[in-house]
């Protein structure tokens, strides 16, 4: 829980400080006033990175550096320093001790709900893969490193496939082995997470919607997870020539999907806009539970300009679950948000 926050040269802020409530904080202001920038600062302080920009873009225009300072209810202090000059760098300080990267142990757990998440189920498979991977990074030690290693190995193999002087299959073999090994770990982690989500989403969806629709979630891996490495390695070897023609690796976790079914049919084919929003709301509530259980601490909840996207029934359904969490909601209409809460909320007005 963050008690106060100071932003220096961060996005649109020159030097501003904010007192934060342990309950619901409503960040209100007109469009382009800096509401989302403040929410983004909380995310960067907690997790180390933004969901919508590179580090260099977080520094106020024309300034060489940005800095965030926050105090925690536990007595801890957190600082993030971002430099664009003389060379790009980022440094974290936790209680005065420097870190180059935040690990699972040194980050604060966060659940973010932002407008692009409303496209999670009906959008591209990449969105759903990222959803699983982002959640795994917050709950499984070492998963972030595993994810980065896979990306690097995939980039190396794809670079080999695109060489103007055709590479041999023998040259690709070490990357085939490496990719397959990493892929098996990723797929088992994703599949296990999807199974956990599936165990909760059906009953929660019915509770939120009042409908009898049966909702199921399953990870769609190309091969059984128990021998994924072996099967992928065989396919990479057999499909090398085809991959060369395409110029990219055609199989692996980077090509798979999380399937969501409504009464046995793909959500993209059958669900209404309201049903999709309810399912996403259920996913976010499950995310809060999963992260809280895995980290043994209560996550922060950030809602970026999505509260108004939910109708009155869904807003009230969401607020029923917010009591245990320090929550930050951006909006242009504070009254719309306030009427959904029975408990007192702290309003932060942004001019």
Domain boundaries, given as residue ranges, for the chain = 1-109+298-351, 116-296
Q: Give the C-alpha distances (Å, rounded to integers) separating 132 from 58, 129, 154, 250, 284.
A: 26, 5, 19, 20, 12
Maximum mean pLDDT: which of 7-21, 154-168, 258-272: 7-21
CB 3 within 8 A of CB 73: yes
- In the predicted model, what is the mean pLDDT of residues 319-343? 84
- Please give the order of strands across the beta sheet that includes 257-262: 215-220, 257-262, 265-266
CATH number for the 1-109+298-351 domain, one of 3.40.50.2300, 3.40.50.720, 3.40.50.300, 3.90.950.20? 3.40.50.300
What's the DSSP call for residue 216?
E
The model's confidence at residue 342, banded by pLDDT at 50, 70 and 90, is: low
Same fold, 1-109+298-351 and 116-296: no
Which of 55-59, 113-117, 212-216 bottoms out in mean pLDDT, i.e. has the lowest?
113-117
The mean predicted confidence, pLDDT, of the chain is 93
Residue 341 pLDDT: 76
Spatial distance between the Cα atoms of 67 and 83, rounded to a whole number of angstroms: 9
Quote helix, strand, coil % in the chain, to nearest 5.
45, 20, 30
pTM of the predicted model, to two decimals? 0.89
Per-residue pLDDT, averaged over 61-80, amounts to: 96
pLDDT at 259 over 80: yes
d(CA 151, CA 147) in angstroms, rounded, equals: 6
Predicted confidence band at 322 (pLDDT cuts at 50, 70, 90)? confident
- The domain at 116-296 falls in which architecture? Up-down Bundle (1.20)
State percent of the chain over pLDDT 70.
Answer: 99
Distance CA 103, CA 94 (A): 12
For residue 306, give every residue at least 6 positions away whose Cβ sits within 8 Å of its Cβ, in sequence order, or none: 113, 114, 115, 117, 118
More confident of the two residues 338 and 14: 14
d(CA 231, CA 167): 23
């Amino acid at each position: 829980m963050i008690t106060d926050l100071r932003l220096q040269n961060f996005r649109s802020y020159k030097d501003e400080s904010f007192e934060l409530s342990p309950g619901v904080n409503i960040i209100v202001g007109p469009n382009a006033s800096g509401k989302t920038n403040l929410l983004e600062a909380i995310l960067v302080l907690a997790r180390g990175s933004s969901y919508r920009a590179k580090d260099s873009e977080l520094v106020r225009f024309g300034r060489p550096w940005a800095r965030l300072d926050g105090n925690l209810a536990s007595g801890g202090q957190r600082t993030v320093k971002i430099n664009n000059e003389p060379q790009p760098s980022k440094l974290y300080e936790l209680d005065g001790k420097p870190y180059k990267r935040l690990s699972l142990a040194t980050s604060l757990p966060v659940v973010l709900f932002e407008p692009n998440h409303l496209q999670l189920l009906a959008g591209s498979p990449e969105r759903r893969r990222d959803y699983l991977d982002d959640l795994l990074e917050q709950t499984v030690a070492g998963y972030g490193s595993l994810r980065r290693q896979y990306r690097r190995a995939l980039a190396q193999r794809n670079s080999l496939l695109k060489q103007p002087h055709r590479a041999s299959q023998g040259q690709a073999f070490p990357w085939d082995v490496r990719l397959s090994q990493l892929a098996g770990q990723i797929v088992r982690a994703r599949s296990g997470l999807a199974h956990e989500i599936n165990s909760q989403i059906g009953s929660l969806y019915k509770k939120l919607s009042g409908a009898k629709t049966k909702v199921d979630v399953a990870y769609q891996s190309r091969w059984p997870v128990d021998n994924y490495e072996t099967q992928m390695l065989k396919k990479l070897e057999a499909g090398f020539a085809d991959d060369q023609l395409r110029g990219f690796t055609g199989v692996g976790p980077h090509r798979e999907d999380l399937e969501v079914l409504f009464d046995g049919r793909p959500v993209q084919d059958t669900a209404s806009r309201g049903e999709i929003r309810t399912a996403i709301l259920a996913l976010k509530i499950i995310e809060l539970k999963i992260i809280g259980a895995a980290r043994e601490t209560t996550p922060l909840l950030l809602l970026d300009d999505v509260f108004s996207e939910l109708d009155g029934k869904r807003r009230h359904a969401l607020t029923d679950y917010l009591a245990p969490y320090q929550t930050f909601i951006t909006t242009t209409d504070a009254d719309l948000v306030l009427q959904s809460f029975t408990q007192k909320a702290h309003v932060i007005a942004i001019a």
